[in-house]
Amino acid sequence: MLARRKMRSNELAERIGITTANLSILKTGKAKAIRFSTLEAICKVLECQPGDIIEYIAEK
């Protein structure tokens, strides 16, 4: 989604108000949970739906 919007990670982090380190945790899937406010901010900046940036993967 970032590539489609031709946006860099640090720019997105700045616009949604989180650190680049935390954005990296989100991108690598290491995050345990995400606040609705963060999800809302990402969707607003990237002009997308939550389903476009998150997906369900069953635990093995």
Partner 1 sequence: MKKIKQFQTILNVVIVFSICIMVISVLGLLMGLMTGNMSKMNVTIHGQEINHVDAVLTIVILLMATGYGFFIYSIYQLKKLIDMFIRKEFFTDLSVKTLRIIGVSMLASPILIQVPGYAYGILNSATIHLKISSISPESIAFSIIISLFFIILSYIFNEAKIINDENELTI
Which residues, 6+ apart, have CB-to-CB distance to 46 below 8 Å? Answer: 1, 2, 5, 7, 12, 52, 53
- Of 13 and 48, the one with the shorter C-beta distance to partner 1 is 13
Query: Do residues 2 and 46 touch, judged by C-beta distance below 8 A?
Result: yes
- Of 17 and 51, the one with the shorter C-beta distance to partner 1 is 17
Binding residues (CB under 8 A) for partner 1: these are 18, 22-23, 25-26, 30-35, 38
Q: To the nearest whole angstrom, how small is the minimum distance from the Cβ of residue 14 to partner 1?
A: 15
- Of 8 and 22, the one with the shorter C-beta distance to partner 1 is 22
